[in-house]
Structure 1
Amino acid sequence: MVQHWQEILPIDRYIVTANGLLHDYDRKVLTFLYQPLIGSSCLSLYMTLWAELEENRLWGETSTHHLLMNLLGVNLNDIYEARLKLEGIGLLKCYVKNVDGERSFIYELYPPLNPEQFFLDGMLNIFLYRKIGKNHFARLKRFFSDQQIPKEEYHDVTRAFQDVFEAASPASMEYIQGVAGEIKAEENQNFIGRTEAAPIQIDQNTFDFDLLMAGLKESLVPKKALTPKVKNVISNLAFLYGINAIEMKNFILGALNEHDEIDIEDLRKGARDWYQFVHYDQLPSLVERTQPPVYKSRVVEPKTKDEQLIYYFENVSPLKVLTDLSDGGAPPSGDIKIIEDIMITQKLLPGIVNVLIWYVMLLADKKFTKSYVEKIAGHWARLQLKTVKDAIEYARKDYKEMENKKAGWAGRKKPVRKELIPDWFDNDPAVTEKILPQSNDTDIEAKKRAMEEKLKAFRK
């Protein structure tokens, strides 16, 4: 298990650079469009690194992470987690060099998407809409746009280059050829300028294109229709809406035009409409994130009961856990809002939130009260639980302590219950199915038995 101290230490040095000039307008974009998604701590880190660059320069001076901790007033683990979020959303790239046991980093800042790119992104705009709501989203669109004056009634009288300038004489051309070497930037230097930010792109390897192509081949869809741009959109939509290759085939067939080309806007609209229909007019949110790889266990094929349980919590989103515990139906919007709030305010990782959801449901007879959830979440946040294994072990310990206290109040003769999961949860098939991932496999009984084995892992 990789911990932050294995990746970064206070004495490690770093230097800040920028992939092109950052403009003052970027601050508004970062504050109003990015901050709701990544949180104030990430924005603070980005702004602090940006401040280390002198005006109109691309490189800063070397510093230690200990100084950065003092500037931000946070510990190194918080800086490391904020850095990972900036990397994930495309605002930062990190490079490391290790010489004789001494590490040094380069933090390369990337400009945010411009407002037009952001609102047409197809993924970040959906997350923002889900986060701040329809009214505030419309307000931000008005804030980052301006009225356009129609030009149809005007005539273009702009002069062309050749209308203003004359061709150079042979003598001047010889002069230009003589200084050609002086015009270029010197070695290890580049001209200061502005680069456009690249939109968020999910790795295409996360989607099964082979299975998709096999299905499209049967429907006589030409292979050339899946251009690199279309593949990028498919990967993003699959991540955003949780669409598999078989489901994606139907959306592609619906977006195919008369020229055997895939209309990207129709593809996006089809996926969005399907998701809203299935989830009662709701859009996806960042609650659908899963446990970061850095905090996952290294077990590839879980064998023991504990390993299977940990694997489940590490590889599903909090929204999926809520859905499984609701018999596959859409969980209440209030429950989703509670989870979103604790993930942002308490900074709990998705895997820890998964354990928290299940634990609260067991303790409170499947009631999800905000005050009760926030109380436990705050406690777990102070404990700085990062791995699913640690969260499960602490949940078991906490449950046993509560049972021992109850036994002490009721009398020593009363048997003390030591299991984390009540008997009705193990024995009720309907409840068992709630944590069982949906599958088309007809062998339901086998899957029930397998899931019951997972649930009994809590009994330890």
Structure 2
Amino acid sequence: MNAIGKILPIDGYNVVMDEQPPIDFNASLTHLYQPLIGIQAISLYYTLFYEVDHTQQIQTHHTLMTYLNLTLDDIYRARIKLEAIGLLKTYKRREDNRDYYTYSVQRPYSPNQFFREAMLSQLLLHHIGEQKYNELYTRYVKESYLYGEEVTADFNEVFDTIIPSAPAALNVENNNQDTESEWMDFSWIEQSLRQRFIPVEKVLHAANKKLIYQMKTLYDTESVEIEKALLWALDEDNQLNQEEFKSACHDMFVSRNNGQAIRLNEKVTADPQTSMKKPGTKEEQLIQELETISPKQLLEDLSDGNHASEQDIKVVREVMTKQGLPSPVMNVLIHYVLLQSNMKLSKAYMETIAGHWSRVGLKTAKDAMNFAKQEQEKYKAAKNKPRKTNNYNNNYKKEVVPDWFNNRKKKSSKSNTDTNVSEKEQQEIEAKLQKYLNES
């Protein structure tokens, strides 16, 4: 992560906090958050936290450098870790040729809430190991089964509103739901469940959608692998066993990365000038589109916005599942097959190419497009290559005179008195032989 020059010592800042932290937030920060983001980020959090009510005046970042004994680059890296983990929100404004930041300190999860968050708890498990994880879990999480089965009435079960008014009609559970699941396309999973006559609403409710999105983000998992893990974790009543689902996603990650453990690492970003460069050519724009769009959306775009047919979706899903192609590569394959087949999605043709691409190990849309171009050029070169003609007759244009004729000619020329054949007859014989050879 490039942190040079992101903030300056003279840049001002002030700190706010909207919600008070839970009573046991110190335990969360020390034992649960710190293994994930490190001591410098936690130190910055504590420093900002205790500055909330200390002063409302604008301070410079030089103050933070003094408090923490860190460089500005280290402070910036610690800050973005707090932002990424959900402990800090940052706002920036510019006044009088100076940058001013407002740091909104966020309420950390309590230990019990932390372990209920699938993504954070899985990350902690990978960072500190199963034994230490179980110790912390036993220490901080109080099992709720001692209270018995929860029978709390839902808002919609008790009240009814005739005229929709303020968002008071929303139940607490919906208010607390994150919008993360809305960022993921669940259409492929829905289609797969319907094909197997599994009730979609029973599997893809809000809590499960959030879990699926978190596991996909955590393990950088393709939609095909998420679908396999989901089907694996369904019990006989079509209920999703969340622990089995998390284990299946983890096993797929380990298998895909040759047993490498998952860790939180800072992303390596490219040079700012390079990363800000927009795709120039139409081909670059197409590659960027194929990298980000879903195969279903691509089919609809190529159909002028109409819904993709059930048959086309089924063909794409089966090929994608069987060959394990990433979405960007699958998009290139769809685009290529439609262009080669007069906009018809031929399953047999697609399966043939998909098998080849899968064996080659293509991962990105750019790789797939370059490989398709190379194969197309090879095909054209082979098609335009001139065929070898049979030069049998040309090789035998030279006349071959048999030995018996040469011997006979020598004998006749040696002595005309030894033969009864006249010179005229000799010429006639030679002419007939020459005619025969020419006809042959």
TM-score by length of 2: 0.50
Alpha carbons 1:37, 1:127 under 8 Å: kept: yes
Equivalent residues of 2:86, 2:106 under 8 A apart: yes
SS in 1 for 2:89: strand
> Deviations along 1:201-231, whole A, 9 cap, x unmatched?
86753x4434444544544455534333332
Cα distance in 2 between the residues matched to 1:215 and 1:22: 42
The partner residue of 2:245 within 267, 278, 284 is 267
Amino acid at match of 2:15: V
Q: Provide the aligned C-alpha RMSD in A.
A: 4.5
Aligned to 1:126: 122
Counterparts of 2:106 and 2:121, CA distance in 1: 19
Residue in 2 aligned with 1:245? 223
From 256, 268, 279, the counterpart of 1:291: 268
Task: State the secondary structure of the residue aligned to 1:286.
Answer: coil
Q: How big is the shift at 1:37?
A: 0.8
Q: What amino acid does structure 2 have at the position aligned with 1:29?
A: S
Contact 1:3 1:294 in 2 (8 A): no
Contact 1:126 1:284 in 2 (8 A): no
Identical-residue share of aligned pairs (%): 29
Say whether 1:104 aligns with 2:97: no
Q: 1:52 to 1:24 in 2, by over 3 A?
A: farther
Counterpart in 1 of 2:388?
none
Which residue is 1:231 aligned to?
Answer: 209
**1:442 Cα deviation after fit:** 12
1:33 Cα offset (Å): 0.9
CA distance in 2, matches of 1:61, 1:200: 34
Name the structure 2 match of 1:65: 61
State how 1:28-43 maps to structure 2 within 5 Å: 28-43=27-42
User: Aligned pair 1:136/2:132, yes or no?
Assistant: yes
1:36–1:199 distance in 2 versus 1, CA, 3 Å: farther
Residue 73 and residue 201 in structure 1: after superposition, are their counterparts in 2 closer, same or farther (change >3 A)?
Answer: farther
Q: Give 5+ residue unaligned stretches, structure 1.
A: 153-197, 312-434, 451-460
* Cα distance between partner residues in 2 of 1:72 and 1:266: 43
Amino acid at match of 1:97: R
Please say which structure displays the higher CA radius of gyration. Answer: 2
| Inter-CA distance 446–44: structure 2 relative to 1 (3 Å threshold) | same
Mapping 1:39-50, distance limit 5 Å = 39-50=38-49
2:110 counterpart residue number: 114
C-alpha deviation, 1:89, in angstroms: 0.1
Task: Say how many residue pairs are matched.
Answer: 272
Structure 1 SS opposite 2:224: helix
If the length of structure 1 is used for normalisation, what is the TM-score?
0.48
How far does residue 150 in structure 1 lie from its aligned partner after superposition? Answer: 6.3
Task: Give the Cα separation in 1 of the matches to 2:129 and 2:206.
Answer: 33
Q: Which residue of 1 aligns with 2:186?
A: 209
Partner AA of 2:116 in structure 1: L
Match of 2:319 in 1: none
| Contact kept in structure 2, 1:201 and 1:236, CA below 8 Å | no
Counterpart amino acid of 1:26? F
Cα shift readout 1:250-305 (whole Å, capped 9, x = no counterpart): 22333446666655445334323444566677752225x643589672345599xx
CA distance in 1, matches of 2:92, 2:224: 40
The 1:203/1:94 distance shift into structure 2, 3 A limit, reads farther
Q: Secondary structure at the match of 1:123?
A: helix
Give me the whole-angstrom Cα distance separating, in 2, the residues matched to 1:110 and 1:27. 14
Matches within 5 A, 1:369-380: none
Structure 1 residue 88 and structure 2 residue 84: aligned? Answer: yes
In the alignment, is the contact (CA less than 8 A) between 1:257 and 1:263 conserved in 2?
A: yes
